[in-house]
Structure 1
Amino acid sequence: MDTTSTSVVIKRNEAEVCGRVPLHQTNQIQPHGAVLVVKTVDCTILQASENIETFLGAPATNVVDTLLSNYIPANQFTALQVRLKSAAIDKVPLVLTSNGADILALLQTQEPYFIMELERLDKGVAQDSFVDIYQEVKYVMAELEGVKTTDDTCKIVARELKRISGFDKIMIYRFDEEWNGEVIAEEKEEGMEAYLGLKFPASDVPKQARELYRKTPYRLIPNVNYQPEKLYPVINPLTQGFTDLTNCNLRSVAAVHLEYLRNMKVSASMSTRILKDGQLWGLIACHHREPKYLSYQVCSLFEMLSSVVTNKIMAVQYRDAYHYKTDLQFRLSKIMEAVYRKNDLIGGLIDQQKELLDLLGADGLVINTSKQTESFGTTPDRMEVEELVYWLQSQSINKLYHQSRLTGVFENASAYAKTCSGLLALPIQAEKGFYILVFRSEAVQKINWGGNPNEAVQFEKDKKNYHPRNSFKLWQETVFNKANPWSEEQLLIAEQLRNFVVEYLLNTV
């Protein structure tokens, strides 16, 4: 099925709606663990999840307002107090014993209290976990050693994580500039729906969820049909509000996301972040058709491997970017030399028209001054250029400006949208109408979506409650009047070209 690119606007609105859900203030947790909220100064328990009895041997109503030291051995409580004084407390594991069982506790401070996440620790697992995890990490690192591309890196990671974890499906999911995600690597069991190469709208991972992924390395949902456990009492007595569960692994999941997974026929899920320069670049998404619990040790393996993947992907991309930047810099230096040799800015640039088009990845270029207009390649006609320059001046555009879909911001550009859909404007003397205008032709795109993006969010009659789409089958969108966007490297070299022209003019006045 085909549609026009108008659906892009709809998806943005849906993403904004989904992004308003207060995911960190659920006051509920998943039941495969328990939570304690403890006053830092004297270790009095302020809140407890309603399933705390299975860990401490007493119900939440009896546990609250008692001392944490009542439930663990004295030497372990002393070790916990030492840990609380450390600057590196957050999310560092601590093994405790309570009610006759070993418990893994993750601590995080939110002064004047701290949060303890508790999970069962099977006897014998911890002793072998370090060697097992170290071996797996070293093996994957060795597999990635000689890989040259991002796609190959992701393929290997998907394959190895599926082997290690036993999940039915592993996908590597990369975000674009509008936060739509694309599956660039996939390993799955037979019979599962394939998503490789499909895009998913930004509303599937809205802004608030993306921010949480920046703060927490992974998200495990062992059973999408779980019954959440509430904190008791509901209100934190110290803050008189809900306890912030942002960084808790056990934090309950928004109902709309659980419904989304069920619509995918998934019973268990795990997502691990991939960062670039501190920002979310993508996700490792793991799906299983049956409920599936992973121990903290295996989750830690995912966390470490996500760091390995991040470092490898960034190394590949930085290497490629370095070579590309070096090549562009060499091309620009040749153009600059030609201008100086000719001792004529406009004439020198015209002589280097092919080189300029190659440098900026352009189909056409216009040099417009107050006295002359020179164009080469595919460009709008003279009157249309004058109109465009006037629009740029009216918008007070006096810095580098780029737009891959010019008709989206300048309606009159529809007259030449097929041949000049994209604009890169280099203001030289904007007040005098001196611009270098770079154009790119329309690049008709066929985007393969995982389900109809126009139905990503479906509202009920009250216009408040909503549901995710229930189909993720291929849905194709055809996008017109849009050019391929300029890369960061091309924008950087365009800025350098602009600076050269401005300085040349200043030095020849």
Structure 2
Amino acid sequence: MTDPVELYAKGGVDLTTCDREPIHLLGRVQDFGCLIAISSDWIVAHASENCSDILGLEPAQLLGASFTDMFPRDTVHALRGRMQALTRGEGVTHLFGLDLLDDGRIFNVSIHRANRYLVLEFETADPDEAGARQDAFSMVQALIGRVQRHRDLDKMLKEAATCLRVLLDIDRVMVYRFEADGSGRVLSESLQNGAESFLGLRYPASDIPKQARALYTRNLLRLISDAQAEGHAIVPPSSPDGEILDLSLAQTRAVSPIHLEYLRNMGVRASLSGSILRRGELWGLFACHNMTPFHIGFAKRNAVELFVQLFNYELAQLEVETEREDEARARELHDRLMAQMSSGQNLVDVFDPLAQELQDVIAYDGIAIYSDGTYISRGSAPTEEEFLGLVRFLNRAQSSEVFFTDHLIGGYPEAEGFLDRSAGLMAMPISRTPRDYLVMFRREVAQSVLWAGNPEKPAELGPNGIRLTPRKSFAAWRETVRGHCAPWLSAERRAAETLRVTLLEVVLKMSDAMNETRKKADEQQELLIAELNHRVRNILNLIRGLISQSRGESRDVDAFSDVLDHRIHALARAHDQLTRKNWDWVPIRSLVDTEVEAFLSSEFHRVTVAGDPVDLSPPAFTTMALVLHELVTNSVKYGALSVDSGTVGLDIALSKDGGCSLHWREIGGPVVQPSKSRGFGTTIIERSVPFELRGKAEMRFKVTGLEVDFWLPSSYVRASSVETAMPPEQTSQPQVDVALMGEVLILEDNMIIALDGADMLTELGAEQVHTASRVAEALNILKTREITFAMLDINLGNETSIAVCKACEAAGVPFVLATGYGGAVDTIDAFPEAALVTKPFSLDALRMAIPKSQDLAARHRG
């Protein structure tokens, strides 16, 4: 490792060297508490020197002794009980008001695990600990209520800073947010007692090193009670094998000398930091400073931690609400654009009204479109020649994402030539190769950044040995940033992504109007490629989850296969209805009818649906498909529909607030016996609606029959004008005899589907199954083998099975068409009478389709 002194001599030392300081291995504690680390067999391995001051026990007495011998029996019992909270995962638990040594002195205890040790930290408790804790928590409730009043980020942050200052009675509270480059900016603050304002200042990433940011995500609160106190060493410094005690989660952990000097340079004597987390990542900090030593007791620290946790929740809620508002505006833009664009127009034709609509959602200084070799621009934008060079740069970005930058010359130096007109851009690809783009440009904004000191100035070696002294001046350092435009906000990026999808729809619509089948297929594939990746991964994850969860509740392989098959087909039936409605809202009644028909067939009347006609949004429809499938399946197996006398009623009611209540009631079935172990099916019923749709679900196993109540939020339901159900596309019918024999053919370009189909056809009587993945291969099999039946995939990638269909028809060979597209396919139009199975198909679906194909072939031969 390079010696820091030598590194400094070569000019290589600056504040980034702080990133390498092991701040979690400092081996010291602060004055306000002492620490004891014990092994798994309760032998004291480490103790802080101030154990003698706080506990009256010398470290020499403790080290190597059994903790259970040194402390009263009741204390050991209380600690063991509290340790139970640490049996899973990482965390800290607390014990309040413990008479630790059975001498009347009351302590608060923090407990956590550090590798192989259990770390106990002791602080003297306030006399009125319980009352102080109750008062602090009551105040938190009132203060967080004030934060909840604001639905604007700036006002919320200002209110939170003020509330936290009031709660702590501290000199300064700053809300500090981390930027993408690791630097931080003070967004809000609250001051008293003449504290200096740091509002608007920006701090380099090195001010809070990487390892410190990592600890902030693990430990929500960090107290430094006195920046001038030296603290107390932990003895021995390391274990016999040289391992230093990890203090990452220690409440009393001492502070890096570098950070202490940093605080003193700011005039700060004590500080408290609270972590603001978003989706598990460090969003920012509450930085609380006091100009004099400042200790915060256990009760108030816990109240502050609760306040920070509740604020994190409120911040998350605000961001979710903002995202929903942005999505609503983007949907409105989508609807307006779709209404303006007729089928006979292309994007170039409607560019001007499109640009005007966009201006209301995304601020820009110039806009341009490049489509089919045509370039049009408005406002402050590059020339066509400049743009053609820029296109080659844009082509290196992802084809399925919006590309944005507020510093174009940073990645494309040639942009220097038009920097006077554009410093940043947001580009939406609206085709593939050659790519077409809609691009918005922004002019250069000379940003005056107020740095709290020079961010590039190397630190100087100081009084802390071979360490770095943080800069001693916090005077604002003004840096003018050239070549930047105003940053693209997250709301603008989300709107651009929605617009990209909208424009893809427009292009697809134009292709349909031109009736160019091959071009339409190519463009559709390209326009949907971005969504396809996302959807396929979701489907694979869903199937993986179904397999994993269904396995645990099945007694054998056959039962597992049956449960999994029915669940997948429930999703398939729901998906078919959605696609027939163009992924639009669908009546819930059609879902119920389809699911019931699939199981009961002729006894369809035993399930009644009453109440308000209601439509479900696509996300809700998919979720409810699984839920209703499990309800019907359980009822057919164990509930009211398992006996002839049983019935089921489903009552649907729209509430005044737009939500919807669903009440499932089973009557006349066997006596209900709730299972001791809850299977995956029960989990789907109870948790899908709350988890996926943010609704409610309650399941009651009554003697008279199962009762389940659901509530769906208004965003997923609406009143329907359709009172009758949409007839299901495929339903179960009484089982029929299938007469397959001899050799059969499967034409399918997916090997797994081909193998699955071969197994089904063999089970239905086929003696030998030939598989082919290409038309030429299938035609050769028809010529050389005596084929008695064929199952033909409609779309084979770059070819269709029309030629094979004609060959089978000419030879009198019965055939079934397999498709994942539904009915809008040319092959189906060419053979309207052909038997059809929709992927994913089942053995029952084939059993129903084969006789139809055989009858049709017999009629043709006749």
Measured at CA, do residues 498 and 15 of structure 1 come closer, stay the same or move farther in structure 2, by a change above 3 Å?
Answer: farther
Helix, strand or coil at the partner of 1:365: strand
Instruction: Compute the displacement of 1:87 (Å).
Output: 4.4
Aligned counterparts of 2:132 and 2:424: Cα–Cα separation in 1: 54
Alpha-carbon contact 2:52-2:59 (below 8 Å) kept:
yes
Instruction: Compute the displacement of 1:502 (Å).
Output: 4.1
Alpha-carbon contact 1:335-1:356 (below 8 Å) kept:
no
| 1:160 to 2:163 alignment | yes
Aligned residue among 133, 137, 141 for 2:140: 137
Cross-structure match for 2:238: 235
Cross-structure match for 1:452: 454
Cross-structure match for 2:112: 108
Aligned counterparts of 1:426 and 1:288: Cα–Cα separation in 2: 49
Alpha-carbon contact 2:30-2:254 (below 8 Å) kept:
yes
Measured at CA, do residues 283 and 196 of structure 1 come closer, stay the same or move farther in structure 2, by a change above 3 Å?
Answer: same
Cross-structure match for 1:280: 282
Measured at CA, do residues 360 and 158 of structure 1 come closer, stay the same or move farther in structure 2, by a change above 3 Å?
Answer: closer
Q: For residues 60-114 of structure 1, what are the alpha-carbon distances to aligned partners after superposition, in whole Å with 9 as ceiling and x for unaligned?
A: 2331111111232212211222222334784221225128432211111245321
Measured at CA, do residues 382 and 309 of structure 1 come closer, stay the same or move farther in structure 2, by a change above 3 Å?
Answer: same
Cross-structure match for 1:268: 270
Cross-structure match for 2:181: 178
Alpha-carbon contact 2:171-2:290 (below 8 Å) kept:
yes
Cross-structure match for 1:37: 37
Aligned counterparts of 2:87 and 2:331: Cα–Cα separation in 1: 44
Helix, strand or coil at the partner of 2:223: strand
Give 1:363's aligned amino acid.
Answer: D
Give 1:19's aligned amino acid.
Answer: D
Cross-structure match for 2:83: 84
Coordinate RMSD, CA, aligned: 2.6
Measured at CA, do residues 17 and 439 of structure 1 come closer, stay the same or move farther in structure 2, by a change above 3 Å?
Answer: farther
Give 2:125's aligned amino acid.
Answer: L
Runs of 5+ consecutive residues of structure 2 not aligned to the other structure: 1-12, 512-518, 520-862
Cross-structure match for 2:202: 199
Cross-structure match for 2:229: 226
Q: For residues 296-326 of structure 1, what are the alpha-carbon distances to aligned partners after superposition, in whole Å with 9 as ceiling and x for unaligned?
A: 1111121111123223333334323322331
Give 1:481's aligned amino acid.
Answer: G
Helix, strand or coil at the partner of 2:479: strand
Q: Which has the higher contact order (CA 8 A, sep 6+)?
A: 1
Alpha-carbon contact 1:96-1:105 (below 8 Å) kept:
no
| Number of matched pairs | 492
Helix, strand or coil at the partner of 2:296: coil
Aligned counterparts of 1:245 and 1:402: Cα–Cα separation in 2: 42
Alpha-carbon contact 2:43-2:67 (below 8 Å) kept:
yes
Cross-structure match for 1:408: 410
Cross-structure match for 1:339: 341
Aligned counterparts of 1:295 and 1:363: Cα–Cα separation in 2: 54
Cross-structure match for 2:478: 476
Aligned counterparts of 1:169 and 1:81: Cα–Cα separation in 2: 40
Aligned counterparts of 2:329 and 2:422: Cα–Cα separation in 1: 26
Alignment of 1:2-41 (within 5 A): 16-40=16-40
Find the structure with the greater CA-based Rg: 2
Helix, strand or coil at the partner of 1:454: coil
Aligned counterparts of 2:380 and 2:49: Cα–Cα separation in 1: 69
Aligned counterparts of 1:85 and 1:396: Cα–Cα separation in 2: 51
Give 1:460's aligned amino acid.
Answer: L
Instruction: Compute the displacement of 1:382 (Å).
Output: 1.1
Measured at CA, do residues 164 and 491 of structure 1 come closer, stay the same or move farther in structure 2, by a change above 3 Å?
Answer: closer
Aligned counterparts of 2:147 and 2:372: Cα–Cα separation in 1: 56
Aligned counterparts of 2:500 and 2:192: Cα–Cα separation in 1: 53
Aligned counterparts of 2:162 and 2:442: Cα–Cα separation in 1: 39
| 1:46 to 2:48 alignment | no
Measured at CA, do residues 209 and 194 of structure 1 come closer, stay the same or move farther in structure 2, by a change above 3 Å?
Answer: same
Aligned residue among 303, 306, 310 for 2:305: 303
Cross-structure match for 2:375: 373
Aligned counterparts of 2:359 and 2:390: Cα–Cα separation in 1: 20
Alpha-carbon contact 1:221-1:269 (below 8 Å) kept:
yes
Alignment of 1:206-217 (within 5 A): 206-217=209-220
Measured at CA, do residues 488 and 145 of structure 1 come closer, stay the same or move farther in structure 2, by a change above 3 Å?
Answer: closer
Instruction: Compute the displacement of 1:369 (Å).
Output: 3.6
| 1:354 to 2:356 alignment | yes
Aligned counterparts of 1:68 and 1:103: Cα–Cα separation in 2: 17
| 1:442 to 2:441 alignment | no
Aligned counterparts of 1:310 and 1:112: Cα–Cα separation in 2: 32
Cross-structure match for 1:4: none
Instruction: Compute the displacement of 1:375 (Å).
Output: 1.8
Q: For residues 247-271 of structure 1, what are the alpha-carbon distances to aligned partners after superposition, in whole Å with 9 as ceiling and x for unaligned?
A: 1121121111111100011111111
Alpha-carbon contact 1:48-1:232 (below 8 Å) kept:
yes
Alignment of 1:307-326 (within 5 A): 307-326=309-328
Aligned counterparts of 1:485 and 1:494: Cα–Cα separation in 2: 14
Aligned counterparts of 1:478 and 1:362: Cα–Cα separation in 2: 22
Alpha-carbon contact 1:426-1:436 (below 8 Å) kept:
yes
Measured at CA, do residues 70 and 378 of structure 1 come closer, stay the same or move farther in structure 2, by a change above 3 Å?
Answer: same
Instruction: Compute the displacement of 1:370 (Å).
Output: 4.8
| 1:59 to 2:46 alignment | no
Helix, strand or coil at the partner of 1:227: coil
Aligned counterparts of 2:121 and 2:86: Cα–Cα separation in 1: 18
Give 1:381's aligned amino acid.
Answer: T
Cross-structure match for 1:8: none
Instruction: Compute the displacement of 1:161 (Å).
Output: 2.8
Alpha-carbon contact 2:424-2:443 (below 8 Å) kept:
yes
Instruction: Compute the displacement of 1:15 (Å).
Output: 6.7
Tell me the percent identity.
27
Give 1:23's aligned amino acid.
Answer: I
Aligned counterparts of 1:20 and 1:144: Cα–Cα separation in 2: 38
Give 1:61's aligned amino acid.
Answer: A
Aligned counterparts of 2:209 and 2:114: Cα–Cα separation in 1: 25
Helix, strand or coil at the partner of 1:439: strand
Give 1:185's aligned amino acid.
Answer: S
Alpha-carbon contact 1:169-1:287 (below 8 Å) kept:
yes
Identify which range, 477-486 or 172-181, moves more after superposition. Answer: 172-181
Aligned counterparts of 2:169 and 2:503: Cα–Cα separation in 1: 59
Cross-structure match for 1:3: none
Identify which range, 417-426 or 319-328, moves more after superposition. Answer: 319-328
Alignment of 1:423-438 (within 5 A): 423-438=425-440
Measured at CA, do residues 311 and 343 of structure 1 come closer, stay the same or move farther in structure 2, by a change above 3 Å?
Answer: same
Alpha-carbon contact 1:357-1:365 (below 8 Å) kept:
no
| 1:117 to 2:116 alignment | no
Instruction: Compute the displacement of 1:37 (Å).
Output: 1.3
Alpha-carbon contact 1:342-1:348 (below 8 Å) kept:
no
Alpha-carbon contact 1:418-1:481 (below 8 Å) kept:
no
Helix, strand or coil at the partner of 2:20: coil
Cross-structure match for 1:9: none
Instruction: Compute the displacement of 1:148 (Å).
Output: 3.4
Alpha-carbon contact 1:421-1:439 (below 8 Å) kept:
yes
Structure 2 length-normalised TM: 0.54
Alpha-carbon contact 1:201-1:453 (below 8 Å) kept:
yes
Alpha-carbon contact 1:401-1:424 (below 8 Å) kept:
yes
Aligned counterparts of 2:451 and 2:344: Cα–Cα separation in 1: 52
